[in-house]
Amino acid sequence: MKNIAEVTDATFEAEVLKSDLPVLVDFWAPWCAPCRMMSPVLEAAAENLSGRMKFAKLNTDEHAKTAKGFGIFAIPTMIVFKDGKEVNRMVGFVPQDELESQLHPHIAVGPEPSDQDPSCQL
């Protein structure tokens, strides 16, 4: 998954909570069939939103401390963090159009384009 970072209990704070971009974290496990179904959906969303949102995965079997700390009781659970705080949570398989619709209010946006061409100003 080239567009999705693997995070751990040790890296979660730096990679997610202190990120300059909003971050979607996929809490998953390898044995979970719906988690495996989400992988291509998340990869496509990560590609579509590259540079405006960061995507990460946390294996709940290997990093139970962080999963427990965020009250993960069912997987897949996707949590969006912005400025270190949870702003959205989705549980279970989510189709790509619904996922991106849920993410849209939280994505980072660039500066607004200028209405005037600066070369035309006096």
Catalytic residue among 25, 35, 56, 90, which?
Answer: 35
The pLDDT tens digits of the residues spanning 62-113 come to 999 999 999 999 999 999 999 999 999 999 999 999 999 999 999 877 544 4
Catalytic residue among 29, 32, 44, 107, which?
Answer: 32
Helix (H) or strand (E) segment spanning residue 40: helix 33-48
Rounded-to-integer distance, Cα 16 and Cα 39, Å:
19
User: What percentage of the chain carries pLDDT values higher than 70?
Assistant: 89
**Domains (ranges, CATH) in the chain?**
4-111 (3.40.30.10)
Q: 33 φ, ψ to 5°?
A: -60, -45
The pLDDT tens digits of the residues spanning 34-61 come to 999 999 999 999 999 999 999 999 999 9
Is 120 among the residues known to form the active site?
no
Using an 8 Å Cβ cutoff, are 41 and 99 in contact?
yes
Using an 8 Å Cβ cutoff, are 53 and 84 in contact?
no
Mutual angle of helices 33-48 and 96-103, in 10-degree steps: 60
Is 32 among the residues known to form the active site?
yes
- pLDDT recorded at residue 3: 87
